């Protein structure tokens, strides 16, 4: 992707400082049409790190729970909050779709279009929600299942991904079934075979994480969905951990629905999510949170987006986060995340007291690494990281150690320092 230097500087808030590109990028400053610095250029990534207000004496390794916001995101939110507080009297309620005082009535076309572009969908297939739990609940509650019809998923789904389906089971007599997936997984073929063998004639819904939260395993969604569709099964993909971390192309994946959030890997404010439903499957999903458009199918995404008064400043922050991601370049972001994750895993593999639960096949990994150190628990490792190095990965309990995420605000030096901590703890 060809990104103009001016647009990057604009989003990063650097152009307003009236710095020349040489001042901003120093030695690596491109001249004329020289391409933007490579993904592994340390000076470029240092400039990116500087865009995050994240305190400099701490190292954040937990965007798998909630991400770090770049400064532009915070500024946009605060600016819009101030705007609505000062100008709410100006609002004449003439055209809800153009007003930005409250969300939940506005069709949010600008943001939905950006989200659609990110995942290769159309805006009418996108609804804005607060998070993955909401999106998944809208789908589980909105789809009609008869008693005895089965929902199949893995044994490693997040409670926010499976909760809506458990309600479906208890309330409507649908059957919630799980199939065990190895941890660590060894290959896409292994996972494919396990899941496809568990499909039965009663399976009506297949719900899978695109990336497993507790291991970082990227599942072979495209191949599994192709097989599920041959059997007439409705496919629902949980993308809580993928959006902003790896490329997501819903056309290529071929899934019926895909749900995700922006508060983990895109750097958007907490409380920002979406739901994608393929146009041809939209009518299969009843509205759950219903307002005036609950049965209006002109713009299906709007039907679900219209959910009553919501927080527009948060959406302004989301839009800024999407712009930030796009202007750096999604491919560059994904490559950097993977580069850092692989550096961590390579270092961990050198220590035989470390057990890694992320896939043994690097092709199934990106920025999430889950590991334990012989004789320790997740809490012990998490606490030791903080005490020794002010580093913040997240405990995964007694058995699975810690989940250690790498993102664009991290550096190779931080990974290397983390490996020193691990080697010390392993003795
Ligand atoms: C795979 C998965 N699904 C669902 C969720 C819930 O996401 P949210 O908090 O956005 O509802 C998470 C959160 O970590 C997750 O990892």
Class of 82-322 in CATH: alpha beta
| 263 CA: nearest ligand 1 atom | 10
* Sequence ranges of the domains in the chain: 1-34, 35-69+329-426, 82-322
For 289-298, the pLDDT digits (tens) are 999 999 999 9
Positions in the chain whose pLDDT score sits under 70: 1-39
CB-based contacts of 309: which residues, under 8 Å, 6+ apart? Answer: 102, 103, 104, 105
Å from CA of 131 to ligand 1 middle = 8
Beta bridge partners of 404: 369
- Say what the pLDDT of residue 98 is: 80
Handedness of CA 8, 10, 15, 17 (dihedral sign): negative
CA distance 163 to 227: 25
- CATH number 3.40.50.620 is the correct assignment for the domain at 35-69+329-426: no
Taking CA atoms, 12 is separated from 186, 272, 320, 330, in Å, by 40, 21, 10, 15
Pick the atom of ligand 1 nearest to 157's CA: 1
Whether residue 184 is preceded by a cis peptide bond, meaning omega within 30 degrees of 0, is yes
DSSP string, 337-386: HHHHHHHHHHHHHT-TTEEE-S-SSGGG-SSEEEEEETT--HHHHHHHHH
Is there an atom of ligand 1 within 6 Å of 137 CB?
no
Nearest to 313 by CA among 83, 111, 114, 108: 83
Q: Residue 259: beta bridge partners?
A: 238, 275
Distance from CA of residue 427 to its chain's centroid?
Answer: 35
Backbone angles phi, psi at 99, to 5 degrees: -85, 150
Q: Give residue 40's pLDDT.
A: 72
For residue 256, how far is its CA from the centre of ligand 1 (angstroms)? 19
Nearest to 111 by CA among 332, 311, 367: 311
E strand spans, 162-250: 175-179, 203-209, 234-239
Q: What is the pLDDT of residue 37?
A: 45
CA distance 387 to 368: 22
Tell me which DSSP letter residue 35 carries: P
132 lines ligand 1 (CB under 6 A): yes
Q: How far is the CA of 56 from the centre of ligand 1 (A)?
A: 27
Q: List, in sequence order, every residue forming a beta bridge with 176; answer none if it has no partner.
A: 151
Read off φ and ψ for residue 36, nearest 5 degrees: -65, 150
- Write down the residue that tokens 């804005």 correspond to: 128
- Confidence (pLDDT) at 205: 98
Query: What three-state secondary structure class fits 146?
Result: coil
Under DSSP, the state recorded for 103 is B
pTM for the complete prediction?
A: 0.92
Same fold, 35-69+329-426 and 82-322: no
Q: Is the CB of 160 under 6 A from ligand 1?
A: yes
Q: So what's the pLDDT on residue 287?
A: 98
Contact present, 77 and 53 (Cβ < 8 Å)? no
Other CB atoms within 10 Å distance of the CB of residue 395:
17
What was the pLDDT predicted at 8? 41
The region that residue 356 occupies, defined by phi over 0 for left and psi between -120 and 50 for alpha, beta otherwise, is: beta
pLDDT value of position 97: 78
Query: Which residue's CA is the nearest one to ligand 1's atom 14?
Result: 65
Q: Classify burial at 415, counting beta carbons within 10 Å of its beta carbon; exposed 0-12, middle 13-18, buried 19 or more.
A: buried
Tell me how far apart the alpha carbons of residues 418 and 391 are, in angstroms, rounded to a whole number. Answer: 8
Sign of the dihedral defined by the CA atoms of residues 198, 199, 202, 207, in that order:
positive
């Amino acid at each position: 992707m060809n990104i103009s230097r001016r647009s990057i500087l604009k989003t990063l808030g650097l152009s307003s400082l009236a710095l020349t590109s040489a001042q901003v990028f120093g030695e690596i400053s491109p001249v004329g049409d020289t391409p933007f610095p490579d993904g592994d250029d340390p000076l470029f990534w240092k400039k990116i790190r500087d865009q995050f207000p994240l305190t400099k004496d701490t190292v954040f390794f937990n965007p798998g729970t909630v991400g770090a916001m770049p400064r532009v995101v915070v500024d946009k939110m605060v600016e819009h909050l101030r705007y609505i507080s000062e100008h709410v009297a100006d609002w004449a309620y003439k055209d809800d779709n153009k007003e930005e005082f409250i969300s939940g009535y506005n069709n949010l076309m600008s943001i939905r279009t950006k989200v659609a572009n990110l995942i290769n969908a159309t805006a009418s297939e996108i609804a804005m929600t607060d998070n993955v739990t909401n999106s998944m609940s809208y789908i589980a509650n909105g789809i009609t299942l008869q008693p005895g019809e089965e929902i199949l998923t893995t044994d490693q789904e997040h409670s926010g991904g499976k909760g809506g389906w458990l309600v479906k089971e208890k309330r409507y007599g649908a059957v919630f079934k799980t199939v065990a997936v190895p941890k660590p997984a060894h290959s896409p073929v292994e996972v494919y075979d396990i899941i496809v063998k568990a499909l039965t004639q009663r399976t009506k819904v297949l719900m899978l994480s695109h990336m497993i939260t507790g291991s970082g395993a990227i599942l072979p969604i495209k191949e599994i969905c192709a097989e599920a569709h041959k059997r007439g099964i409705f496919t629902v993909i949980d993308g809580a951990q993928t959006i902003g971390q790896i490329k997501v192309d819903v056309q290529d994946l071929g899934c019926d629905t895909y749900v995700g959030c922006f508060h983990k890997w895109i750097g958007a404010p907490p409380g920002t999510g979406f739901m994608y439903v393929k146009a041809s499957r939209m009518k299969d999903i009843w509205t759950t949170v219903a307002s005036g458009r609950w049965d209006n199918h002109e713009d299906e995404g709007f039907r679900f987006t219209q959910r009553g008064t919501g927080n527009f400043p948060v959406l302004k922050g989301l839009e800024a986060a999407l712009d930030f991601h796009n202007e750096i370049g999604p491919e560059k972001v994904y490559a950097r995340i993977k580069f850092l994750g692989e550096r961590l895993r390579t270092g961990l593999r050198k220590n035989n007291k470390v057990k890694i639960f992320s896939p043994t096949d690097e092709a199934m990994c990106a920025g999430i690494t889950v590991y334990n150190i012989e004789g320790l628990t997740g809490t012990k490792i998490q606490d030791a990281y903080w005490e020794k190095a002010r580093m913040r990965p997240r405990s995964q309990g007694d058995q699975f150690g810690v989940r250690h995420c790498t993102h664009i605000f991290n550096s190779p030096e931080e990974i290397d320092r983390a490996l020193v901590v691990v080697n010390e703890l392993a003795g």
